[in-house]
Amino acid sequence: MELRFSTWQEVDAYLQGSKAIILPIGSTEQHGPNGLIGTDALCPESLAVALGEKTGALVAPTIAVGMAQHHLRFAGSITLRPSTLIAVILDTVNSLLQHGFERFYFLNGHGGNVATVNAAFAEIYAQFSMATAGADRPAVRCKIVNWWEAEGVMALSKELFGEADGSHATCGEVSLTQFVYPHSIKTAEMDPPIAPSGTFYDATDFRQRYPDGRIGSNPSLASPAAGEKLFNKALAGLEKSYREFSA
């Protein structure tokens, strides 16, 4: 059940049986020569919709722009400042709190969001802890889950791609988008086949270290078949995680 395709009466009825909601969150940033700019939002969104169908959970609209300042030297990348993303999360959660939601399961597709999302959670908990009438406020709980860390996913990626999976523009995430969006598959030569690995700081530093956008990966190995395996493995792990959290 997706919030954007629901009426307010349907959401009202949903709240009679559950106070939990899934919130996909990702990023709009370059993903190397053959990865879609929307990868980090498309992966959690597609998994969230499938997870909602399996569990009966309500799925919020995707927060598709995240904290991606280090990708800004690549055309098409968009970022929010950490403070802006915190404000977006706070306003989203506080809006849903007004209607009776209490459990917020953020399904994340971008590692660069994690610190900022956790900072937003700290702000949410602080507003409840410091509220004058705190004793009669609901027990709000927030959780962030990276889809690639769902049970069994990283082991499967290792089995499928070995060290070539990398850490950005990975074989796994490119494969997943190829499975979900087969009409948007891109191809490109990778030079070198496996990109260098390491750290980075700002956008200029990132572009100098990783000129084609990849970190440690060879996404030419990606395939829709591998994406289907990863999608199903992630969905199974996320179902277990969400059911435990929402209960």
Structure tokens at 10: 């349907």
The SS3 assignment for 145 reads strand
**Residue 47, domain extent:** 3-246
pLDDT exceeds cutoff 90 at 137? no
* Confidence band, pLDDT 50/70/90 cuts, at residue 64: very high
Query: Do residues 224 and 178 touch, judged by C-beta distance below 8 A?
Result: yes
Q: How far is CA 246 from CA 34, 117, 147, 206, 242, in A?
A: 37, 19, 17, 38, 6
Structure tokens at 88: 């977006």
Give per-residue pLDDT as tens, 214-235: 999 999 999 999 999 999 999 9
Q: Which domain CATH number covers 66?
A: 3.40.50.10310
Domain count, the chain: 1
pLDDT exceeds cutoff 90 at 63? yes
Q: What share of the chain is helix, strand, coil (3-state, %, to 5)?
A: 55, 10, 35
Q: Which residue has the tokens 């993303």?
A: 85
Residue type at position 61: P
Give the least confident one: 34-38, 125-129, 242-246.
125-129
Question: pTM value?
Answer: 0.96
Query: Do residues 15 and 99 touch, judged by C-beta distance below 8 A?
Result: yes
pLDDT exceeds cutoff 80 at 201? yes
User: In the chain, at which residue ranges do the beta strands (DSSP E only) sit?
Assistant: 20-25, 58-59, 103-108, 141-146
pLDDT of residue 136: 62
* Confidence band, pLDDT 50/70/90 cuts, at residue 134: low
